[in-house]
Structure formats: C-alpha cells, structure tokens
Amino acid sequence: MRIMKVEKTLVSTNRQAELGHKPLLVVRDKAGATPLVAVDAIGCVPGDWVICVSSSAAREAAGSKSFPSDLTIVGIIDHWNPEDAPAGA
C-alpha cells in the first residue's frame, strides 16, 4: 500500500454509473509528485495522510468487486512525518 496525502475533492459530473457517488480525491505521495485519484472508503479531509491500496484489491475495498477503482483509501494514518521520507527519495 502507498502512503499519500489528500489534497482535494475531484469533481467529475460526466462519469460512469458504476462510480456512484463515492467521493474521488486527489492524492499525492509527496509535493511535486504526479497527482493520482483515489476512491475514499473511509471519510477523509484534505491534509490527511492516508493508506491507499492499489491493484485488484482496490475494487472490493471501494465497495464491491465491480467497482471501477484501482486506488482506494483504506485507512488514515494517526501520525505521519513526511520527513521520514528522505529528500532524495
């Protein structure tokens, strides 16, 4: 699983019906990294450091085997110091 920071909600009015109304959040693993989109299965707010599961496990974690997710937030980290990730990482 990846450690990522929640930035904001992503608005997509024209979306597949299977996505339902689950919130889609923009997440990044560090400043300057390429942003990704994760399904929120927990209830996060911007600024939270979260645990994101990818691969086939992201589907069921998002609610069902047919949910079209490849990145789902499954936990909020109690305390995370990004400085633990060296600058050269």
Q: Which residues bind a second copy (CB under 8 A)?
A: 1-3, 10-16, 18-19, 24, 26, 29-38, 41-43, 51, 53-61, 66-72, 74-79, 84-86, 88-89
Which contacts qualify for 55-64: CB closer than 8 Å, 24 or more apart? Answer: 62/22, 63/20, 63/22
Contact 55, 84 (CB under 8 A): no
**Token pair of 14 as six digits:** 């024209």
Residue 41 half-sphere exposure toward CB, CA atoms < 13 A: 21
DSSP 3-state of 17: helix
Minimum distance of a second copy from residue 42's CB (angstroms): 6
At closest approach, how far in Å is the CB of 47 from a second copy? 14
Nearer to a second copy, 47 or 66 (CB): 66
Please report how close the Cβ of residue 13 comes to a second copy at its closest, in angstroms.
6
The residue among 37 and 46 lying less far from a second copy, judged by its C-beta, is 37
Q: Which is nearer to a second copy, 32 or 47 (CB)?
A: 32
